[in-house]
Amino acid sequence: MAVNKTDLQEFRDKKVQERETLTAEKDTARQAVEQKVTEFRKTLVNGLDLEFRSQEDRLDGAIDAIDQLIGQTPDDVIPKEDL
């Protein structure tokens, strides 16, 4: 069976177009995934920052309270009931 070169070229062009379309779809999908990963990463980092910030705030409060006790006491001994 003989194949016409023109038909073969058209078939090839069609396959090239399909390949280009597939590549474009892959690039679009990759960009969407990268965007979602970036958003998810930001969410995780923000959550982590909030968690540690909360712990840091509690520790800062405790340190401030201790500093106040130290500053209010004229001698080197702090009564247990003040703690």
Q: Is the pLDDT of residue 76 over 70?
A: no
Q: Is the pLDDT of residue 77 over 90?
A: no
Residue 36 or 70, more confident? 36
The DSSP secondary-structure symbol of 80 reads: G
Q: Is the pLDDT of residue 82 over 80?
A: no
Q: How confident is the model at residue 75 (pLDDT cuts 50, 70, 90)?
A: low
pLDDT score of 27: 97
Could you identify the residue written with the tokens 């540690």? 52
Contact criterion met (CB below 8 Å) for 45 and 59: no
Cα(75)–Cα(1) distance, integer angstroms: 109
- Copy the structure tokens of residue 3: 């194949």
Cα(41)–Cα(74) distance, integer angstroms: 51
Question: Quick check: pTM over 0.75?
Answer: no
Could you identify the residue written with the tokens 């379309």? 21
pLDDT score of 70: 79
Model pLDDT for residues 4-35, shown as the tens digit of each residue: 999 999 999 999 999 999 999 999 999 999 99
